[in-house]
Amino acid sequence: MVKKESGWNLDNSYAKLPNSFYTNTNPTPVRSPKLIILNYPLATSLGFNIEELQSDDGVAMLAGNKIPEGAAPIAQAYAGHQFGNFTMLGDGRAVLLGEQITPEGKMFDIQLKGSGRTRYSRGGDGRAALGPMLREYIISEAMHALRIPTTQSLAVVTTGEAVIRETELPGAILTRVAASHLRVGTFEYVAQWGTVEDLRILADYAIERHYPSIEADESRYLALLDAVIKRQAELIAKWMLVGFIHGVMNTDNMTISGETIDYGPCAFMDTYDPATVFSSIDIQGRYSYGNQPYIGAWNLSRFAETLLPLLDENQEMAIEKAQEKISNFSTLYHSHWLSGMRSKLGIFNEDKEDESLINDLLDIMKKQHADYTNTFRALTFDSQDGCVSQEFTQWKEKWQARLERQPETSDLAKKLMKNNNPSVIPRNHRVEEALEAAVERSDFSVMERLLAILSNPYEHSAEQAEYSVVPASTTPYRTYCGT
- Collapsing DSSP to helix, strand or coil, 95 comes out as strand
- The answer to whether residue 204 is catalytic is no
DSSP assignment of 345-360 equals: TT--S--TTHHHHHHH
Q: What is the pLDDT of residues 348-364, one digit of tens each?
A: 999 999 999 999 999 99
For residue 257, tell me if it sits in a domain: no
In a domain, 329, yes or no: no
Least confident among 86-90, 248-252, 276-280, 298-302:
276-280
Predicted pLDDT of residue 1? 43
pLDDT over 90 for what percent of the chain? 91
Last residue of a domain, one of 418, 439, 462: 418
Q: Which of 192, 202, 287, 293 is nearest to 245 (CA)?
A: 287
Q: Are 295 and 303 in contact (CB under 8 A)?
A: no
Q: What is the pLDDT of residue 154?
A: 98
Q: Give the tens place of pLDDT for each residue, 8-55.
A: 999 999 999 999 999 999 999 999 999 999 999 999 999 999 999 999
Contact 424, 454 (CB under 8 A): yes
**pTM score:** 0.95
Instruction: Name the domain count of the chain.
Output: 2
Of 370, 397, 418, which marks where a domain is finished? 418
**Is residue 212 assigned to a domain?**
no
**CA 153 to CA 134: how far, in whole Å?**
9
277 inside domain: no
Q: Is residue 337 part of a domain?
A: no
Q: Which of 126, 49, 130 is nearest to 94 (CA)?
A: 126
Whether 4 has a pLDDT exceeding 80, the answer reads: no
| Residue 400 neighbours by CB distance under 10 Å | 10
Whether 428 is in a domain gets the answer no
Domain residue limits at 367: 347-418
Q: Which candidate, 78, 133, 98, places its Cα nearest to that of 27?
A: 98
What gap in Å lies between CA 203 and CA 226, rounded to an integer? 13
Does any domain span residue 311? no
Query: Burial of 382 by CB count in 10 Å (0-12 exposed, 13-18 middle, 19+ buried)?
Result: exposed
Considering the candidates 57, 252, 270, 371, report the single residue annotated as catalytic: 252
The answer to whether residue 245 is domain-embedded is no
Distance, in Å, from the CA atom of 308 to the CA atom of 327, rounded to the nearest integer, reads 16
Q: Which residue among 124, 148, 178 closes a domain?
A: 178
The dihedral region occupied by 244, where left means phi > 0, alpha psi between -120 and 50, and beta the remainder, is: beta
